[in-house]
A and B are shown apart, each in its own frame.
Chain A
Amino acid sequence: MSIDDTTASAITTTTTDDDSTANQEKIATTPSSKPRITWSDSYTKAQTAIESLSAILPYIPPSLAASETPAFSLLHDAEIAAQISRLLRQNDSGSGDNNLCRWLYDTFQSSEPDLHLVVLKFLPIIAGVYLSRVALHKPLAGFEAVLLALYAHETTTRNGQPITVSVPDLSHSSIYHETKQTAKNTSVELNIAVISPSLEPHGTVRSTRRARIIGVALELYYSKISQMPINSKIDFCEFCQIWAGEDGDVYKDGSNSSGGSEEENSPTVKRGKEGRICLPWDLLQPILRILGHCLMGNHKDKELYEAACGACRSLYARSVHDINPNAILATGSLLNLVKMNSKVEDDFDHTEIVHTNTITL
Chain B
Amino acid sequence: MSEGESEDLGQLENDPSVRQVCANGICMKTTVVEAKLDEGNIQEAESALREGLSLNFEEARALLGRLEYQRGNVEGALRVFDGIDLQAAIQRMQPLAEKQPSKRGRSRSDSIHAVSQHAAGLVLEAVYLKAKSLQKLGRVTEAAQECKSVLDAVEKIFYQGIADVLVDNKLQETVSHAVELLPELWKQAGNFNEAMYSYRRALLSQWNLENDCCARIQKAFAVFLLYCGVEAGPPSLAVQIDGSYVPRNNLEEAILLLMILMRKFYLGKIKWDPSVIEHLTFALSLCSQTSVLAKQLEEVMPGVMHRIQRWKALALCYSGTGLRITALNLLRKSLHRHEDPDDIMALLLAAKLCSEDMFLAAEGAKYAERAIANCHDQSEHLKGVSLRMLGLCLGKQAKVSSSDFERSRLQSEALKTLDSALVFEKENPDLIFELGVHYAEHRNLNAAVRYAKQYIDATGGSVVKGWRLLALVLSAQRRYAEAAVVTDAALDETSRWDQGPLLRMKAKLKISQSLHTEAIETYRYLLALVQAQKKSYGPLRVEAEVEDDKVNEHEVWHGLANLYSSLSHWSDAEVCLEKARAMKEYSAGTYHAEGIMLQRRGEYREALSSFSNALLMEPNYVPCKILMGELLCKMGPSMSPTARTLLSDALRIEPTNRMAWFHLGMVHKNDGRIIDAADCFQAASMLEESDPIESFSSVL
Measuring CB to CB, which residues of chain A are less than 8 angstroms from any residue of chain B?
A: 1-4, 6-15, 134-135, 162, 164-170, 172-177, 180, 182-183, 186, 190-195, 197-198, 200, 202, 206-211, 222-223, 225-226, 245-247, 250-251, 255, 258-260, 273, 276, 278, 280-281, 285, 288-289, 292-293, 295-298, 317, 320-323, 325-330, 332-334, 336-337, 340, 350-353, 355, 357-361
Contacts and interface: CB of A to CB of B under 8 A. Distances in A.
Nearest to B170: A360
Nearest to A1: B155
Nearest to B15: A357
B251 interface: yes
Contacts of A170: 259-260, 263
Given A174-B245, A226-B228, A289-B286, A320 B348 contact: yes
B227 A293 contact: yes
28 contacts: A2-B238, A3-B204, A6-B237, A7-B238, A10-B233, A14-B232, A134-B462, A174-B245, A176-B203, A176-B204, A191-B289, A197-B540, A198-B540, A206-B493, A222-B229, A226-B230, A278-B459, A292-B226, A293-B227, A293-B228, A297-B229, A321-B428, A322-B430, A325-B290, A328-B345, A329-B320, A333-B282, A350-B213
B122 interface: yes
Contact of B193 (A15, A166, A211): A15
Contacts of A351: 132, 177, 180-181, 184
Interface string B207-235: 00000010010100001101111111111
Best-buried of B22, B69, B128, B233 by chain A (most CB within 10 Å): B233
B57 interface: no
Interface of B: 16-24, 27, 30, 53, 55, 59, 62-63, 66-67, 69-70, 122, 125, 128-129, 132, 155, 173, 177, 180-181, 184, 187, 192-193, 196-197, 200-201, 203-205, 213, 216, 218, 223-224, 226-249, 251-252, 255-257, 259-260, 263, 274-275, 278-279, 281-282, 284-293, 313, 316-317, 319-320, 345, 348-349, 352, 377-382, 384-385, 389, 425-430, 457-464, 492-495, 497-498, 539-542, 545
Given A329-B313, A329-B316, A333-B279, A166 B59 contact: no
Given A4-B205, A340-B278, 17 more contacts: A7-B201, A10-B237, A165-B289, A167-B284, A173-B244, A190-B245, A192-B540, A246-B381, A258-B378, A281-B288, A298-B228, A320-B382, A329-B285, A332-B281, A333-B285, A351-B184, A360-B21
B290 A329 contact: yes
Chain B contact residues: over half helix, strand or loop, or mixed?
Answer: helix
Nearest to B321: A325
A312 B292 CA distance: 24
Given A276-B427, A293-B229, A320-B382, A175 B193 contact: no
Best-buried of B317, B319, B425, B427 by chain A (most CB within 10 Å): B427
A359 B63 contact: yes
A273 B428 CA distance: 10
A167 B287 contact: yes
Best-buried of B235, B385, B389 by chain A (most CB within 10 Å): B235
Contact of A193 (B201, B287, B498): B287
A7 to B, nearest CB: 4
A320 B345 contact: yes
B177 A210 contact: no
B20 A359 contact: yes
B547 to A, nearest CB: 14
A208 B287 contact: no
Contacts of B257: 176
A247 B378 CA distance: 11
Nearest to B464: A208
Of all A-B residue pairs in the complex, the 3 with the closest CB atoms, nearest first, are A14-B233, A193-B287, A361-B23
B492 A297 contact: no
A10 B316 contact: no
B495 A337 contact: no
Given A1-B155, A357-B18, A358-B22, A273 B427 contact: yes
Contacts of A9: 236
Contacts of B430: 322
A239 B22 CA distance: 62
Contact of B352 (A10, A278, A323, A352): A323
B286 A323 contact: no
Best-buried of B181, B238, B246, B385 by chain A (most CB within 10 Å): B238
A138 to B, nearest CB: 11
Best-buried of B23, B24, B200, B385 by chain A (most CB within 10 Å): B200
A271 to B, nearest CB: 12
A209 B236 contact: no
Contact of B55 (A258, A329, A361): A361
Nearest to B128: A353
Nearest to B233: A14
A211 B349 CA distance: 25
Contacts of A135: 457-460
A4 B132 contact: no
B241 A326 contact: no
Contacts of B284: 167
A278 B458 CA distance: 9
A14 B460 CA distance: 40
Contacts of A14: 231-234
A175 B240 contact: yes
Given A323-B349, A361-B59, A194 B541 contact: yes
B66 A359 contact: yes
A3 B239 contact: yes
Given A2-B238, A11-B233, A328-B345, A361 B16 contact: no
Contact of B292 (A11, A191, A328): A191
Contact of A278 (B20, B377, B429): B429
Nearest to A320: B345
Given A135-B460, A176-B203, A288-B286, A361 B122 contact: yes
A164 B540 contact: yes
Contact of A11 (B193, B317, B462): B193
Given A167-B287, A350-B216, A208 B463 contact: yes
Given A328-B345, A334-B282, A175 B241 contact: yes
A251 B345 CA distance: 13
A208 B495 contact: yes
A135 B427 CA distance: 12
A247 B381 contact: yes
Contacts of B230: 15, 226
Given A167-B284, A175-B241, A192-B540, A326 B320 contact: yes
Contact of B227 (A295, A320, A329): A295
Contacts of B493: 206-208
A183 B244 contact: yes
